[in-house]
Structure 1
Amino acid sequence: MIEKLHYSSRTTEVDGSATQIVNGYQQSTLNTDENMVKIFALIIDALALLSSAIKRLKAKSEQMYYDDIRDEKITAFYFLLVSFSHHPDAVIKAAALRLLEIFEQYGLEMKNEGFTTESSLLNSMLADYKKPQLLDTIALVPQCAEYIAALQEAQDNFETNRLSFEEAQGQEGTLENATQLKKTVLDQINGLLVPYLNVMEQLNEPVYGNFARTVAEITAANNQAVKRRKKKDNTPEDGE
């Protein structure tokens, strides 16, 4: 008997397992079975939507990652300037204070702004530091040029990945989310495909047996991964 896919499976696990099942079906000779054709038409359509939803989540996750790096570079640059603003060397101290004054026009709080506002503030600040009259001042503060370059790189990386994020945001309100789509795919596999294959394998093993065993292996492997994860999550810490 084929196991049903566990409903605690992650969206990526369902996406991966369903993709394997679809690939197995497409390589089989079962496309002459009208019931299988109808079942897989539903699964394939829902799977395409699920895969797209996962890509949207990935785009959002990556943008948050690049924003976190950007925020880290902003903080590091700020504290570099604060540190050297207390330097015993009067020349270095004066240079750091001048650069810190520019930074404070924008404020460390820029990190708390939305993506667009933060980008605008950061781009403006970086443009200020690129002004020719500040080159000598920047050169006086140790590592300052390197910190500015790192901040510029972080901002460039953020903007490079911005398009895919904006596309994901634009679709977010009009399309079903990954959790809803995962349930749809699970319902179709568990409620339609698995019961049908379990019956047909017994009625006509020569025709359905190979594919039924393939699906059984895929669902069993998926469920085993879910069980291992649950067991790991429930393992007490040492000393408990």
Structure 2
Amino acid sequence: MSEPIKVDIWSDIACPWCYIGKRKFEAGAGLFSGGGDDRDVEVEFHSFELSPDTPVDFHGNEADYLAQHKGISPEQAEQMLERVGGIAKQVGLDYDFGSMQHTNTVKAHELIHYAKAHGKQAEMKERLMRAYFIDGGHVGRIDDLIGYASEVGLDAEDARAALERNDYLAAVREDQATAQEFGINGVPFYVIDGKYGVSGAQEAATFAQVLEQVWTERGSDAAASDDEADVAGVYA
């Protein structure tokens, strides 16, 4: 059975394009895996904070934050959010910008690392993004975060202790340092099989195409190795 193609994804919980990109990547990976021949994809999420200076309790809605952050009018901010919300709907996501509680996401990233250590990274990532964009949940406070941890089957009190001790803050910072080394300055960003970088919420077909290319190259490399082994056998 072939090794799955490893995909490392840098993203932020509070990034609307990251959730859209997550859905598009999932669709693209499904297209690729549907090709048979034991095609499979292994995903690992990595931390990226778009706005690390954001307070845990931001006073205002998402449009207020966007207007302040980008230096635009509230009307322009509303138009931007409406556009993004329309694109989100195309991939089955019903963003509720009016109910979003903008916050600092570092503790949420720590929780995702905790979940990874307990085999629940994918479930935790999805739950936090859904909480933020759709449910109007708060993803910056420990009390709220441990509730989401419990929902995906993690031990709430153990998760609380880990967050209060900052057990996974170093792992978050390591992800961010790696992003800098790679020159990643925007998310979502995908590193496929350690050698191809894909930036942004690309279409499903694009992701499927890159995965297929990597798969084909693997086959070519394997064939070349087999040929070398045959030659070595003849002249041994």
Global fold match (TM > 0.5): no
* Higher Cα radius of gyration: 1
Task: Using CA pairs under 8 Å that are at least 6 residues apart, name the structure with larger relative contact order, 1 or 2.
Answer: 1
Higher fraction of helix: 1
State the TM bucket, normalised to the shorter chain. Answer: under 0.3
